[in-house]
Structure 1
Amino acid sequence: MALITVSGYPSSGKTRRAGQLKTAFEARLQDPTYVGPKLKVVVLSDDELNISRDAYKGAFVFGFDLWPETDVLADSRSEKPARGALFTAMQRQMGTDTILIVDALNYIKGFRYQMYCAARELKLRVCTVYAVATTDLCKEWNKSRLDGHAYTEETLDNLLLRYEEPSSMVRWDSPLFTIPWIDAEIPADDIWKAITEGNVKPPNAGTQAVPKAPTDALRALEATTTSTVGAIMAEQAASGGLGGAVTLGISSEIVPSITLPPRNITLSELQRIKRQFVTVHKKAITLGTTEKGAVDWSEKSIAHKFAMYIEENLKP
């Protein structure tokens, strides 16, 4: 159904905003006047996955390290698997019957783009909620936490420096809803409209699985084109080069039609056209094809395509 990415400084109130969203959406879904599809609202967070705040202690900031290099390398390595665990859990939870709210730091724009692409693969609507608070407030709220999930001072300072603010100008952060700390309520109606009525963007071409040809496609391509050339030469010899519409009897099941020009076609001419055809289709077989739907690599299909290709290339 939809993916909502909650982003903001650490200890900026993201969890509160995610909770407000969940409450508002569940109330709407349970309203007797609601007539839409049956949906569930799920909030996914680091706390749900038992990801420690210490996992975000990576300390390289714009080429500078804040602690001795050995500590930095050890700390920064822990952040990647933490993001990986979050991303994997997000993929498991996403679905056409789920409004998924990801309540995590989501402070790296590259990671937000990765989440955006995953949602597009499933044709889900997306939006970003930006929980805004000043750095001083974040530090104050972090110190006052009593749930055992406070950041250390060093980690908090590091994350504040590394935060990459979402922008409505980029597609993976759009539509963007910015909610400052002074707002007691959230624009629940506008967010609901975005995730239920907004455009569903097609999957990114760069992330789509490329259909592969069957293992015998190269053999079928070579054998069928060779047989077609032989059938054309035999038909031409029988008709005396009169041309016109003919049916090539390659086999009992493969009988493509072709219109030949009223002249003698040389074998070298047909061999040249065959090489061109085979070269183009070999690339599609070995590298995959971006054509929509399944591509038919049967001998019958190849023969008909090759007959059309010859006909086009023999036109005066």
Structure 2
Amino acid sequence: MALITISGYPCSGKSTRAKQLKDSLERRLQDPSYTGPSLKVVILNDDTLNISRDAYSNSRSEKPARGALFTAMQRQMGQDTILIVDALNYIKGFRYQMYCAARELKLRVCTVYVVATQELCREWHTARTDVPQYPPETFENLLMRFEEPSSMVRWDSPLISLPWTDVDIPIDDVWKAVMEGVVKPPNAGTQAVPKAPTDALRTLEHTTTTMVAAIMAEQTASGGLSGPVTLAISPTHKPQITLPSRNITLSELQRIKRQFVTVHKKAITLGTTEKGAVDWSEQSVASKFVHYIEENLKP
């Protein structure tokens, strides 16, 4: 249904705001006036995944920690869930990765930026005695490396800023974003490319070779071809091709065939280059080869 990304300095009050947000959303979902789909609100954070504060002390331990968070987020996302990711989310590249994952599942997205000064965050961090703290050097490093969300980039939009001075959260803005926001289609770069069937290469080579042989056989039998010609490459498939009014050499056809096969071998190996076109049947290959020959044979 929706992904809400919480971002802010460490110890800026993100977890408190995430809990406020969850309670407010659940109240609206349970209100008798609500007539939408049945939804659940889930908070995902480092504590629920048992990720230590020490994990952010160096890149070697931080990378698998972010990987664990991302994997858990992918498992929790769904059309029946409003997922609140309450983590540092201080790297814009990671927020973009989360945004792309949400788009893959056609979820609405929203970023809540919990704003607090660095001085306040230091004060609150020092005062926290009931939960594990960040090592002092790690805490200062996180403050310095924080990449502030921006409403100017698509992966942080819509962006809702929540200053530490505000007692209440802007639930109306969040509700509108997760219930009425635009559902964007998946990025083209992240979509799975349809794969060609396992016999596509054999079909490509066999069909083109058979057509070259058929053209040469018809030319030999008739003493010269021109205009529309029907090629009997199989009992059930007889494509028609328009040829120029001159003798065509075997070497000329072989050169055109090699060029055609080379281009389409790449498409088979790496994925189709034609949007939605993954038909590698004999009829489809023959039709494409006919057009290719007609375009490349000089009059």
TM-score, structure 2 as length reference: 0.91
- The residue number in structure 1 matching 2:234 is 251
What is the alpha-carbon distance in structure 1 between the residues aligned to residue 128 and residue 273 of structure 2?
A: 52
> CA contact under 8 A between 1:227 and 1:250: conserved in structure 2?
yes
What is the alpha-carbon distance in structure 2 between the residues aligned to residue 156 and residue 16 of structure 1?
A: 19
1:83 to 52, 66, 69: 66
- Structure 2: which amino acid aligns with 1:261? P
What's the CA shift for 1:240? 4.5
Distance 1:31 1:241, change over 3 A: farther
Question: Greater CA deviation, 182-191 or 31-40?
Answer: 31-40
| 1:280 counterpart = 2:252 | no
- The residue number in structure 2 matching 1:191 is 174
Partner secondary structure for residue 7 of structure 1? strand
What's the CA shift for 1:124? 1.8
Distance 1:246 1:97, change over 3 A: farther
TM-score, structure 1 as length reference: 0.86
> CA contact under 8 A between 1:210 and 1:290: conserved in structure 2?
no
Distance 1:294 1:244, change over 3 A: closer
What is the alpha-carbon distance in structure 2 between the residues aligned to residue 269 and residue 153 of structure 1?
A: 74
* Cα deviation 1:100-135 (Å, max 9, x = unaligned): 110001111221122122222222222211000111
What is the alpha-carbon distance in structure 1 between the residues aligned to residue 277 and residue 107 of structure 2?
A: 24
Q: Which runs of 5+ in 1 are unaligned?
A: 59-75
- The residue number in structure 2 matching 1:298 is 281
Partner secondary structure for residue 196 of structure 2? coil
| 1:210 counterpart = 2:193 | yes
> CA contact under 8 A between 1:253 and 1:300: conserved in structure 2?
no
- RMSD between aligned alpha carbons? 2.1
- The residue number in structure 2 matching 1:57 is 57
Identity of aligned residues (%): 78
- Structure 1: which amino acid aligns with 2:253? L
- The residue number in structure 1 matching 2:92 is 109
What is the alpha-carbon distance in structure 2 between the residues aligned to residue 231 and residue 35 of structure 1?
A: 67
* Cα deviation 1:250-271 (Å, max 9, x = unaligned): 1123322223334433333322
What is the alpha-carbon distance in structure 2 between the residues aligned to residue 195 and residue 292 of structure 1?
A: 31
What's the CA shift for 1:14? 0.7
- Structure 2: which amino acid aligns with 1:284? A
> CA contact under 8 A between 2:13 and 2:114: conserved in structure 1?
yes
Partner secondary structure for residue 137 of structure 1? helix
